[in-house]
Structures are given as structure tokens and as C-alpha cells.
Amino acid sequence: MTLSVYLSGEIHTNWREEIMEGCRAAGLDVAFTGPVTDHAASDDCGVAIMGAEADKFWHDHKSAKLNAIRTRKGLADADIVVVRFGEKYKQWNAAFDAGQAAALGRSLIVMHCLEHQHALKEVDAAALAVVETAQQVVQCLTYVQRGTLPSTE
């Protein structure tokens, strides 16, 4: 049973690598996907390929749509969508991905620090697990795939 996991949200810390490394170390059979995490490329991909725009709205629009091709594929193929909300920024795209994942019936794991708990209550309410650390995500995936808990591994 390979698990397909899409890692959505915050792109400024190395939480994706921590999760992927943790799963590798545990020997799990997980296929990870996620958005393009090169911030500049993600912002400018549309105009870089399809031509410059004078208006910032359309500059962003072209890139957001091109990125959506990757996001849609990732969400469509995923069994589990992990969405991390970082400490900073609006991160509406993370919540938007979570909404799509929920409506598509994907299992949702939300990862955020305590201070965001109240603001994320609607997202958490749609999740099957709410965690704070990458290690907890690894432990969840380990349990889902093997049925073993941290203390018994």
C-alpha cells in the first residue's frame, strides 16, 4: 500500500524535507508531491513562459494558473493532503488547497503552531489529524501504513 501524500502550504522552512527524510528513515512506502517551492519561479513562471504583463494582477494570474496545473494533479492523485500553516503571511493558498482537498474527499492533516488554533478552527474541523511538528506527520504516516506507534517502533 503506497501512500500518495501532497505537501501543501508554507514554503519558507524545510518541513517538507523533514517529513520526507523521516519517512525515508522509517522505510515507509510514500510517494510525495507538492507545489513548486522556488518562490521566485512560482511568482514569475507565467510571464517567463507566456510573455510579460504590464499589470501586476495579470502577471500573478498567469503564474497562479500555471501553478494550478501542478496543484490539481497533486491533489487528484493524493490519498492524504498535509497542509502546513507557517507563522507568517496570509497563506490563503494553503487554506484554499485545504478546502479543495476536503471537498474532493482527500484525508486532510493540518500542521500549525498553537497560536493559530482559533483562526484555523474551520480547517482543523475538516481534518483527520491536527499536528504541530513534521515528526508528528511522520508518526501519523507510519501508523497509517504500518499500525505501529512511536514507542513501539
Compute the least distance from the CB of residue 12 to a second copy, in Å.
14
CB-based contacts of 101: which residues, under 8 Å, 6+ apart? 6, 8, 75, 78, 81, 83, 108
By beta-carbon proximity to a second copy, the closer residue of 15 and 91 is: 91
User: Of the candidates 144, 134, 48, 64, which has an alpha carbon nearest to the alpha carbon of residue 97?
Assistant: 64
**Residue 130 parent element (H or E):** strand 129-131
113 lies in the binding site for a second copy (CB under 8 A): no
Site for a second copy in 24-63 (CB under 8 A): 33, 36-38, 41-42, 44-46, 48-50, 53-58, 60-63
Site for a second copy in 1-20 (CB under 8 A): 1, 3
115 lies in the binding site for a second copy (CB under 8 A): no
